[in-house]
């Protein structure tokens, strides 16, 4: 049986990496998926492939750093599907710099997507879910293992991801009585374009990738599919008593720290 049958789900950052995998997995599990991203060509191609495989997906251009885009995304979803059941706040960027190296503009740009964007995505998603009555809804925020531990030369990124860990707890406290759940997924190193970009900043990218894999108890990096399956769990009814939590999907990365 499809785990997300007939659920209406928005996924931000759905045009690549973990977001792409979630869009595809949600499609397989029977959700009506709205993929939102700033990368139109890739985003549209992915939803076309989901539909060709028998799924139900649409793409909407959305820049989560712009609140008006978030509002338009929610409004379009409600007009098209009549409700919103699941929101996955996944869009994110990364800056590989220490505290003293990070400029004000770089900090503001990262926060506008990773933290401010996620905050206002959740705000407007919850407003829509309140209209569902007792059915409520599920918020899934993409955190990181770095929501729990820090890593060198990622000062702004760690700051943003740490805040998301507390955002879901706040949502859980404020809206649990409305059956709106909020949880955070905290991946370790995952084979994505974002990780590839990070490795390319290192003196020896291949060695950096190998070293990253060895940091995990499982001695490898994770796959986007492994994270996407966790998103299905948190989005669906199997996690009906799970809220305000962080699901750490890191192959044992922080267990070794």
Residues 93 and 198 in one domain: no
The pLDDT, as a whole number, for residue 195 is: 87
Residues 45 and 88 in one domain: yes
Residues 201 and 119 in one domain: no
Neighbour tally for 34: CB within 10 Å: 29
Residues 23 and 142 in one domain: yes
Q: What is the residue-wise DSSP string for 53-70?
A: TT-EEEEEE--TTSHHHH
The pLDDT, as a whole number, for residue 257 is: 66
Can 189 be counted among the known catalytic residues?
no
Residues 70 and 52 in one domain: yes
> Is beta strand 8-12 parallel, antiparallel or unpaired with respect to 32-37?
parallel
Average of per-residue pLDDT across 38-65: 98
What is the CA angle 148-153-154, rounded to 5?
Answer: 45
Closest CA to 137 of 15, 10, 222: 10
Average of per-residue pLDDT across 195-199: 86
Is 252 part of any domain? no
- What total of structural domains would you count in the chain? 2
Those residues whose C-beta lies under 8 Å from the C-beta of residue 99, and which sit 6 or more positions away, are 155
3-state DSSP assignment of residue 36: strand
Q: Does residue 42 have a pLDDT over 80?
A: yes
pLDDT (tens digit, 9 = 90+) per residue, 72-109? Answer: 999 999 999 999 999 999 999 999 999 999 999 999 99
Cα–Cα distance, 58 to 52 (Å, whole number): 12
The pLDDT, as a whole number, for residue 181 is: 99
Strand partners, 190: 222
Cα–Cα distance, 39 to 180 (Å, whole number): 30
* Cα-based torsion angle of the residue sequence 85, 167, 18, 254 in order, rounded to the nearest 10 degrees: -140
Task: Residue 144: give the domain boundaries.
Answer: 8-187+223-242
Beta carbons of 50 and 57 less than 8 angstroms apart: yes
Is 247 part of any domain? no
Average of per-residue pLDDT across 46-53: 99
Q: Which residue pairs, CB below 8 angstroms and at least 24 apart, start in 109-115? A: 109/65, 110/156, 110/157, 110/160, 111/156, 111/159, 111/160, 112/65, 113/64, 113/65, 114/157, 114/160, 114/161, 114/164, 115/159, 115/160, 115/163, 115/164
Beta carbons of 165 and 244 less than 8 angstroms apart: no
Q: Does residue 194 have a pLDDT over 90?
A: no
Residues 128 and 198 in one domain: no
The pLDDT, as a whole number, for residue 188 is: 95
**Given 157, 175, 189, 198, which residue is catalytic?**
157
């Amino acid at each position: 049986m499809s785990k997300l049958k007939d659920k209406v789900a928005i996924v931000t950052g759905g045009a690549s990496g973990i977001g792409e995998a979630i869009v595809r997995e949600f499609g397989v599990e029977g959700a009506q998926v709205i993929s939102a991203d700033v990368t139109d060509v890739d985003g549209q191609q992915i939803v076309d492939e989901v539909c060709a495989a028998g799924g139900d997906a649409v793409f909407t251009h959305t820049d989560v750093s712009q609140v008006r885009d978030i509002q338009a995304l929610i409004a379009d979803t409600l007009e098209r599907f009549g409700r919103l059941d699941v929101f996955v706040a996944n869009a994110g960027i990364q800056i590989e710099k220490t505290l003293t190296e990070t400029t004000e503009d770089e900090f503001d740009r990262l926060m506008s997507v990773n933290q401010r964007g996620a905050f206002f995505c959740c705000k407007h998603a919850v407003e829509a879910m309140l209209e569902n009555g007792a059915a409520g809804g599920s918020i899934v925020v993409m955190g990181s293992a770095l929501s729990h531990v820090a890593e060198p030369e990622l000062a702004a990124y760690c700051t943003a991801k740490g805040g998301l860990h507390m955002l879901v707890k706040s949502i859980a406290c404020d809206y649990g009585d409305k059956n709106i759940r909020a949880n955070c997924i905290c991946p370790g190193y995952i084979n994505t374009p974002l990780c590839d970009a990070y490795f390319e900043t290192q003196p020896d990218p291949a060695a950096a990738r190998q070293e990253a894999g060895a940091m995990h108890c499982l001695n490898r990096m994770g796959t986007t599919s492994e994270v996407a399956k966790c998103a299905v769990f948190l989005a669906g009814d199997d996690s009906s008593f799970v809220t305000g939590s962080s699901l750490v999907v890191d192959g044992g990365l922080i267990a070794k720290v």
